């Protein structure tokens, strides 16, 4: 198990996570209904597809206790769609480090 660290100050950003395969439902779109959980706590996956950022890691939001949400960068109608770029910052140094996507679309 490994943890994600900040590229700026090397602070630990995540809980220990184990790498697993990206779930098959990762690319499904549901509209305005609840979607299933993408990642279970304690796991992460790497997105191999060019449709999203290739090589981007995905994890459960609760596994990133070393980050803080940047509300001014949350652009969705019911959450964050990720269109405004990184919206999570390192809790220690403030460097934008990740993009949380939890919007309905």
33-84: pLDDT as tens digits: 666 778 999 999 998 876 667 678 899 989 999 999 998 887 777 667 777 7
Using the predicted structure, report yes or no on whether residue 30 has a pLDDT greater than 70: no
For residues 8 and 98, the answer to whether their CB atoms sit within 8 Å is: no
Taking the mean position of all CA atoms in its chain, how far away is CA 66? 13
Q: Are strands 43-46 and 57-59 parallel, antiparallel or unpaired?
A: antiparallel
**Calculated CA dihedral for residues 46, 21, 27, 59, nearest 10 degrees:** -60
> Across the chain, what does the average pLDDT equal?
84
Residue whose pair of structure tokens reads 């934008």 in the numeric block: 96
Handedness of CA 57, 34, 82, 69 (dihedral sign): negative
Using the predicted structure, report yes or no on whether residue 105 has a pLDDT greater than 60: no
């Amino acid at each position: 198990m490994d943890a994600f660290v900040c590229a700026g100050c090397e602070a630990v950003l995540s809980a220990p996570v184990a790498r697993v395969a990206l779930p098959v439902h990762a690319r499904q779109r549901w509209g305005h209904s609840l979607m299933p959980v993408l990642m279970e706590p304690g796991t992460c996956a790497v997105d191999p597809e060019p449709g999203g950022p290739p090589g981007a890691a995905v994890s459960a939001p609760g596994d990133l206790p070393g980050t803080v949400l940047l509300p001014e960068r949350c652009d969705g109608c019911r959450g964050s769609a990720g269109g405004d770029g990184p919206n999570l910052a390192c809790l220690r140094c403030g460097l934008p480090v990740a993009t949380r996507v939890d919007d309905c679309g």
